[in-house]
Amino acid sequence: MEVNQPVPLFSAVAANAGIDFSEPLMRVVNRHWYILGEEVKSFEREFADYVGATRCVSVANGSEALEIALLSLGVGPGDRVITVANAGFYSSTAIRAVGAEPVYVDVDDESLTMCTESLRNALFTPVKAVIVTHLYGRMADIENIYEISKAAGAAVVEDCAQSHGARLANGQCGSFGDLACFSFYPTKNLGALGDGGAIVTCSDELAARLLKLRQYGWSTKYHVTSASGRNSRLDEMQAAILRVKLPLLDQWNEQRRAIAKKYCEAFANLPVKLPTSLGDDYVAHLFVIRVEDRETFTTYLSKQGIATDVHYPVPDHRQTAYVLKETFELPVTESISSQVVSLPCFPGLSDAQTNRVVEAVTSYFKQRV
């Protein structure tokens, strides 16, 4: 590799290297059935089996997965839904889209996922649902969160958009909540060649509602029996691609973890805060560190040809599009929003590229001594 060749934050070319997509794509073309056909049905079965759920209902994208999941639970105007404010406004968008109000709780300072104590405090006032985001590929404390939420009468929706394949001893990400939502955006651990999403559940009743809601509210063709129906369908092309990629997901996650482990070993003595888990509960969707003086740090890496990004710079409760009905004190969320930086970490990132990232980060701190 040329020394001056940039290291991207993500490369679809590298991540998809060696995969022949021609056969599944031509299978769809030759079948002449492009929406809700055999590829979608097969992928839904295979993905449900992979996650450990009984039902999977695919949809157009991850954001609509969250929205439709909330609708299936009966969430609507006047309802309150708990979520975190450090995850890019995606859950907030879904909550607003169904007419509900977001209730923001703080995150744990180590995992950067939902803080159980903050959740307990928020549940003193009734809420309809809790959206738990498994952020950066790290699973939240989902078993305790589920127990706390259900004791308060709240449904639990897992947001698994960044955590495909993460596991705990008692189950896989997406198998703990009443519903779990996935995105198949191309940069995700399991990414399509366009947009896509899915909702998994072990409830036949919820699955039946989801099937209606994703297609106009139909019970049968042209018979609208459910209000708030959407047009949100995964197409056959994307389903066929995802079926090819799903068997490769676990090995890709291992590659991500290997890169994350190398970074953690190299940065162990630097003044940065690193991910706190490299186990099966972390699939390294993003390798996020926390640094002081982030702008100087990212500017230096950019000059070295290393791409970075910030996930995410503005907490949801500080966004200006909506007027909040409540005031939220989220000290950890606000603190980390000025510190988090994402470094390149994806399948296909070469050893040479990984070494360049390590060298750039370590040299930044050496020159500041």
CB-CB contact of 21 with 244 (8 Å): yes
Residues contacting residue 352 through CB under 8 Å, at least 6 positions apart: 1
CA distance 121 to 105: 9
- Token pair of 247 as six digits: 């068997």
- Token pair of 83 as six digits: 């979520």
Q: What is the DSSP string of 61-92?
A: -HHHHHHHHHHHTT--TT-EEEEESSSTTHHH
Instruction: Specify the 3-state DSSP secondary structure of 205.
Output: helix
Catalytic residue (one of 188, 212, 245, 273): 188
- The strand ranges marked E within the chain are 55-59, 80-84, 101-105, 129-133, 155-159, 167-168, 171-172, 179-183, 197-201, 218-220, 223-224, 287-290, 340-343
Backbone angles phi, psi at 194, to 5 degrees: -175, -155
CA distance 267 to 278: 14
Backbone angles phi, psi at 101, to 5 degrees: -115, 130
CA distance 333 to 293: 17
Nearest to 345 by CA among 263, 228, 271: 263
Instruction: Specify the 3-state DSSP secondary structure of 101.
Output: strand
325 annotated active-site: no
- Longest CA span, the chain: 70
**Distance from chain centroid for Cα 34:** 27
Amino acid, res. 27: R
CB-CB contact of 173 with 139 (8 Å): yes
Within 214-315, residue ranges assigned H as helices are 236-245, 249-267, 294-303
The 10 Å Cβ neighbour count of residue 15 is 19
Q: Which residues are catalytic?
A: 188
